Structure 1
Amino acid sequence: MALSFAESRGAQDDAPMGEMNTTPLIDVMLVLLIMFIITIPIQTHSVGINLPQAPVDTSLPQPDPIKNKVTIDASGVVRWNGMAVDPLTLRRYLAQTLALPVEPELQFQPDAAARYLVVDQTLADIRRSGVTKLGFVGNERYGQF
């Protein structure tokens, strides 16, 4: 004779089941989640804002179409064709030279007493800009070093 599962439990048949069936609860929560996702409006509208434009300063020197010179003096000041520039302005000038029909030559002349960090950062900016015509000026004075 085979005993069924209920008969094999014996005395435990009369005890109430202590576990809650969570499947209906999970089903209801998933349905509510889907309903909330569907009712969220899609953000398709945009707000047009007119941002102020920086005025174009025509007093700044434009890149020379033939050659430009970047120098670094002993105090670490970077100069573009004799005018002191910050790294952002230097990058802008480099981008302008690359936009010309023929890329002009870029001459680089750091002072011997200039800090290596400033020279290295300037060379990194020149390299990242994509300049291909780069020449070092003033190295001949170190030939008899």
Structure 2
Amino acid sequence: MSMSVGGDSSEEKPLSDINTTPLVDVMLVLLIIFLIAVPVVIQSVKLKLPDVRFDPTTTKPENVLLSVTSKPDGSCAVYWGTSPVTSKELIDRAVEKLKAEIARQGGANAAGLELPEAHIRGDVNVNWSCVGGTIYTMQMAGFARVGFISEPPPGEGVARL
């Protein structure tokens, strides 16, 4: 077996082997980083949520009661009180309601300003995008507090914490 070291080899060919050592080093470093980081990301906070089915709400005359249902063709139907409204009418009425309430309480800089809330009653079978669109519209109008009204299953009382 012979090997040429140095010498006057006139035929020098370019080296065609790829050096994979840097690639392996980078991959090992990434593997170590992911092995350390994944358990930190996967951890969750253990919670015990309240067993309350619903909490009675205090109804104020200035609050807005919205009902969301589906029409037979599958489109959304939103009711302000008992009158049906379109998306445009909903945002216009919501903005006017806020303006009137702020003016009634003495302006935007009045001390102890209490803005009305929007209470949404969504039908069980309504598409989630209908309820989500109603929430978004009310928030765009300026309602900071938007809540849901629900009913407990029949035969259950109200549980308090």
Normalised by the shorter chain, which TM-score bucket?
A: 0.3 to 0.5
TM value normalised by structure 2: 0.44
Which structure has more relative contact order (CA 8 Å, sep 6+)? It is: 2
TM value normalised by structure 1: 0.48
